């Protein structure tokens, strides 16, 4: 499973009000990184609302630039996108431009399924502008520097030191939650605010026009980000295959409930591995879903976390440590376990003990160390 899905999944839960992590990262003017659990009153820091407001303001500038152009005619799609690198982009496409690229693609491939994907694939949209201004650039540059410094400390297996200064040498302060997934929440909120403003009414659009938040460069937006900002009936009208995929996936979940817990886990893990290794057509590709939907599917089917999920998670830990099994099952069950915040607290010490066991295992490889850090991130366990 992909690391950036961790951050997107956190954003999908919306965690409202926006939950700040206990860690605040402080980047000084000489590019040194520190952390501090609590900031003194009056110390300025980058907030989620500041990010949203800057992105909203600049998105309006970019949209209005398009509205005044000759291309504002028969627009069928608009998206505001971000990615794991914290970039922000505005994408738009018109029926005329789609037909031109459609004809070219048809000539080259004659693949009707891929042509349907192309209509809502950001990379094939004709109009694309980066969304940035001085304040956004400051946030992006600061976040990038913080991220790079964190990676350096992790590579050296050192903790980020505590800040003990007088706050006169501060370049930027960002909470860990904002660094990790604040941008995914920001684009969703901006799209919702623009819709409330009635920006769609100013666009010369088609009847099936859709405007959504997206993950740049990945079809994951079809099933995660897009669904947060577009009603299902609108999506189904624009992309009928999504409706078919939803029906098929819902039936799959019903069928899975007839199986034992262990067989459900085995089936879904096999499909995850098939999807990652491009072996045949996985259920995710067939139903226009992401691997995170497998997490939600299992979470919905669990009757007793103490009898089913937690023992299976511990078994996956042992298999990974002692038998050298692929971490797929451990990752997958860690994602599922993360969905049960209240029940997870009951097993918190056992979870920490098992994760510590992985870290203390002999002949630890760098990849294993990276995996356990990601699993701690998934479970929000330090």
310 and 347 Cβ atoms separated by less than 8 Å? yes
45 and 39 Cβ atoms separated by less than 8 Å? yes
For residue range 101-136, what is the model confidence (pLDDT) as tens digits?
A: 777 665 555 555 455 557 888 888 889 999 999 999
DSSP conformation letters of 210-229 = EEEEEETT-GGGGTTHHHHH
Average pLDDT of the segment spanning 32-53 = 93
| DSSP annotation of 21 | P
Six-digit token string for 92? 């738009």
In this prediction the pTM is 0.82
Six-digit token string for 303? 């009757």
Query: Helix, strand, or coil here: 62?
Result: helix
For residue range 202-213, what is the model confidence (pLDDT) as tens digits?
A: 999 998 899 999
Report how many helices (DSSP H) and strands (DSSP E) the chain contains, helices first: 17, 7
More confident residue, 99 or 74: 74
Q: Does the structure show a pLDDT above 60 at 67?
A: yes
pLDDT score, position 107: 59
Average pLDDT of the segment spanning 298-319 = 91
Render the burial of 117-150: b for 16+ CB within 10 Å, e for the rest.
ebbbbbebbebebebbeebbeebbebbebbbebb
Q: Does the structure show a pLDDT above 70 at 2?
A: no
Six-digit token string for 297? 């599917």
How far apart (Å, rounded) are the C-alpha atoms in residues 195 and 168?
Answer: 41
pLDDT score, position 168: 94
Nearest C-alpha neighbor of 183 from the set 7, 3, 19? 7
pLDDT score, position 16: 44
Average pLDDT of the segment spanning 86-105 = 86
Residue 17's pLDDT band (cuts 50, 70, 90): very low
Q: Does the structure show a pLDDT above 50 at 72?
A: yes
How far apart (Å, rounded) are the C-alpha atoms in residues 285 and 6?
Answer: 20
pLDDT score, position 219: 55
pLDDT score, position 55: 97
Average pLDDT of the segment spanning 27-43 = 94
Percent of the chain with pLDDT strictly greater than 90: 49
Query: Helix, strand, or coil here: 28?
Result: strand
Pairing of strands 205-215, 75-82: parallel
Contact partners, residue 258, CB within 8 Å, separation at least 6:
none
Q: Does the structure show a pLDDT above 50 at 15?
A: no
Query: Helix, strand, or coil here: 25?
Result: strand
Average pLDDT of the segment spanning 250-264 = 94
Residue 154's pLDDT band (cuts 50, 70, 90): confident
How far apart (Å, rounded) are the C-alpha atoms in residues 46 and 262?
Answer: 45
pLDDT score, position 161: 96
For residue range 160-201, what is the model confidence (pLDDT) as tens digits?
A: 999 999 999 999 999 988 888 889 889 999 999 999 999 999
Least confident of 114-118, 243-247, 330-334: 114-118
pLDDT score, position 286: 84
Nearest C-alpha neighbor of 205 from the set 125, 93, 130? 93
Residues forming a β-bridge with 36: 24
Q: Residue written as tokens 């097993």? A: 347
284 and 273 Cβ atoms separated by less than 8 Å? no
Q: Output the average pLDDT for the chain.
A: 86
Six-digit token string for 163? 């800040």
3 state SS for 114-163: HHHHHHCCHHHCCEEEECCCHHHHHHHHHHHHHHHHHHHHHHCCCCCCEC
pLDDT score, position 366: 65
More confident residue, 103 or 100: 100
pLDDT score, position 122: 85
Least confident of 128-132, 255-259, 293-297: 293-297
Q: Does the structure show a pLDDT above 90 at 60?
A: yes
pLDDT score, position 367: 66
Least confident of 14-18, 39-43, 369-373: 14-18
Distance in angstroms between the alpha carbons of the first and the last residue of the chain: 21
């Amino acid at each position: 499973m992909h690391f950036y899905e961790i951050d997107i999944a956190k954003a999908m839960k919306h965690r409202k009000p926006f939950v700040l992590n206990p860690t605040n990262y402080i980047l000084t003017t000489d590019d040194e990184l520190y952390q501090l659990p609590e900031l003194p009153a009056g110390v300025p820091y980058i907030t989620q609302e500041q990010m949203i407001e800057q992105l909203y303001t600049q998105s309006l500038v970019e949209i209005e630039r398009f509205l005044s152009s000759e291309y504002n005619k028969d627009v069928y799609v608009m998206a505001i996108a971000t990615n794991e690198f914290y970039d922000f982009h505005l994408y738009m496409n018109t029926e005329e431009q789609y037909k031109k690229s459609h004809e070219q693609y048809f000539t080259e491939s004659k693949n009707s399924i891929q042509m349907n994907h192309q209509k809502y694939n950001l990379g094939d949209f004709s109009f694309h502008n980066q969304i940035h201004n001085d304040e956004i650039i400051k946030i992006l540059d600061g976040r990038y520097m913080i991220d790079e410094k964190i990676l350096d400390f992790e590579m050296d297996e050192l903790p980020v030191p505590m800040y003990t200064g007088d706050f006169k040498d501060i370049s930027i302060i960002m909470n860990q939650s904002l660094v990790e997934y604040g941008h995914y929440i920001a684009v969703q909120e901006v799209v919702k605010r623009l819709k409330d403003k009635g920006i769609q009414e100013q666009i010369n659009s088609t009847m099936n026009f859709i405007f959504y938040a997206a993950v740049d460069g990945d079809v994951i937006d079809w099933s995660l980000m897009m669904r947060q900002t577009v009603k299902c009936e609108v999506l189904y009208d624009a992309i009928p295959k999504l409706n078919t995929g939803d029906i098929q996936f819902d039936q799959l979940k019903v069928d899975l409930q007839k199986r034992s817990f262990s067989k459900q886990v085995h089936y879904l893990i096999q499909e995850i591995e098939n999807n990652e290794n491009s072996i045949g057509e996985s259920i995710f590709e067939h139903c226009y879903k992401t691997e995170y939907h497998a997490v939600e599917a299992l979470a919905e089917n669990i009757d007793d976390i103490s009898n089913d999920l937690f023992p299976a998670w511990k078994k996956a830990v042992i298999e990974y440590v002692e038998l050298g099994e692929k971490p797929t099952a451990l990752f997958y069950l860690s994602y599922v376990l993360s969905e049960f915040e209240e029940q997870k607290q009951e097993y918190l010490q056992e979870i920490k003990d098992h994760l510590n066991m992985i870290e203390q295992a002999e002949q630890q490889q760098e990849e294993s160390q990276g995996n356990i850090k990601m699993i701690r991130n998934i479970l929000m366990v330090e």
